[in-house]
Amino acid sequence: MPAFKLTPRLITVGGAQLGPIQRADTRAAVVERLIVLLREGHRKGCEIVVFPELALTTFFPRYSMTDQAQVDAWFERAMPNEATAPLFARARRHGMAMNFGYAELTPQGHHFNTAILTDKEARIVGTYRKVHLPGHAEFDPERTHQHLEKRYFEPGDLGFPVWRMLGGVFGMCICNDRRWPETYRVMGLQG
């Protein structure tokens, strides 16, 4: 049992469907699209807007790349950063929390499929790194479509933590993580 009392309340969540991002789209152009969706969520009374996995780039694991510099160009080295600062500023201005995913390159050189959770002041309160990576690690000429998440990302190293905000308890998972019961069990054990 949690050591605190949860009070039932309604939270308006906006699921922001970004649509396809092309390989040539710039971070600035994508962030502008995220801001449009954030404004729409604000107009509709959302307290938190949830953006998709790898929201700042095309789903690059479908491309086979061998040049590490080319791969690393898809990754963010800090969050927020110069490209995403306008999104954080807009969220703070609207007093909205956010969840969004991106490719993270840590200072230690680790590559993660990451999601962050911010509060209504656009401060990062939680970081999650995808644990269950689908797909394959090597280019497969027999496949018509590649899914190289295991090539470009490491399994997450943070487990399934939860955070208390907006009067509730929040956990995160990314895509394939939803298929595994331990995702919910571990978060549930934390309240």
As annotated, the active-site residues are: 53, 130, 175
Nearest to 153, CA basis, from 112, 107, 101: 112
Angle at the Cα of 100 (from 83 to 151), degrees rounded to 5? 90
CA distance 20 to 99: 18
Q: Which two tokens stand for residue 172?
A: 């995160």
Q: Percent helix, strand, coil in the chain (nearest 5)?
A: 25, 20, 55
* Separation CA 176–CA 171 (nearest Å): 15
Q: Tokens standing for 33?
A: 């699209």
Cα 116 to Cα 99: distance, rounded to the nearest angstrom = 5
Helical residues (DSSP H) of the chain, grouped into ranges: 27-43, 68-72, 85-94, 149-152, 181-188
Please check whether residue 16 is in contact with residue 49, taking contact to mean a CB–CB distance below 8 angstroms. yes
